[in-house]
Amino acid sequence: MNNNLNAAKFSAVLFFCMTFLALGGYLHAEELSAKDIVKRADDLMRGDSLQGRYNMTVTTPGWTRKLELDVWERSRNETFIRILSPAKEAGVGTLRIKESMWNYLPNVEKTIKIPPSMMLQPWMGSDFANDDLVKESSIVNDYNHTILAEEDKAGSAAYKIELIPKPGAAVTWGKILYWIRKDDFVPLSEEYYKENGELIKALVYSEVKKMNDRSIPTIWVMTPAKKEGHQTVIEVVSVEYNTPVESGIFTMENLKRIK
């Protein structure tokens, strides 16, 4: 009798625990705000730090060229990019420290400070703007976020999130639409708009692969809305996240140092 009673109690407790855990997971998912979702995608792609190698292919109606890049980033406040090839651009560097950004041109041994007014200008003739590459503005902190819908995107269930700049935020876009996969917060697509609602360009992510300690999209295709035949593709060759990055990388001395 006691054994049967104990077994019944155990079964009841086990059922309660399983129900609580399942319900808790459901509630946790339901409680995620639009900002939470954007932050998860941003953390996935950037980590606390990263260092990696990337290929960038810039295509226009008249020419195509390919750049090989090394990139370092730390604490969202520091970014360093060094072009490795082709020979014509090898050694060109970009450094961002908080709100300040510089380009170094080794052929003329000149350092150029990039003013905020030029953050929307193309980086090295690509369809990625200066701000796209060095991420001066924060999609997490500088925008208000709203989930507009949950819909299919590239064959996956996705959140469609609208990002509107906060009053006074030093951002370059009037609106961003961001699609993020529901099950793992992998970014799928972004659209960038001016303040008047005009679509300027779209970024599509694809080919999710395991890189270091996470799975990320390894092909990023940026296409301008009104420049037919123009496109820039970034391929993630290799990347490491959350490993120590030397402070000396993010210095003016290193910017001018060509090995």
Binned average pLDDT, 10 residues per bin, the chain of 259 residues: 50 47 45 94 95 98 97 93 96 93 94 89 92 79 96 96 93 94 97 96 98 96 97 98 94 89
- What does the domain layout of the chain look like in residue ranges? 1-31, 34-255
Angle at 22 between CA 19 and CA 24, to 5 degrees: 105
> Residue 33 has what pLDDT?
96
Q: Which CATH class is domain 34-255?
A: mainly beta
> Residue 16 has what pLDDT?
44
> Residue 132 has what pLDDT?
85
Whole-number Å distance between alpha carbons of 171 and 129: 12
> Residue 19 has what pLDDT?
46
Q: What is the pTM of this model?
A: 0.85
- H/E stretch holding 22: helix 2-31
> Residue 172 has what pLDDT?
83
**Measuring CA to CA, which residue among 218, 207, 139 is closest to residue 172?**
139
3-state secondary structure of 240: strand
Q: Which residues contact 56 (CB under 8 A, 6 or more apart)?
A: 66, 67, 68, 69, 124, 126, 128, 232, 233, 234, 235
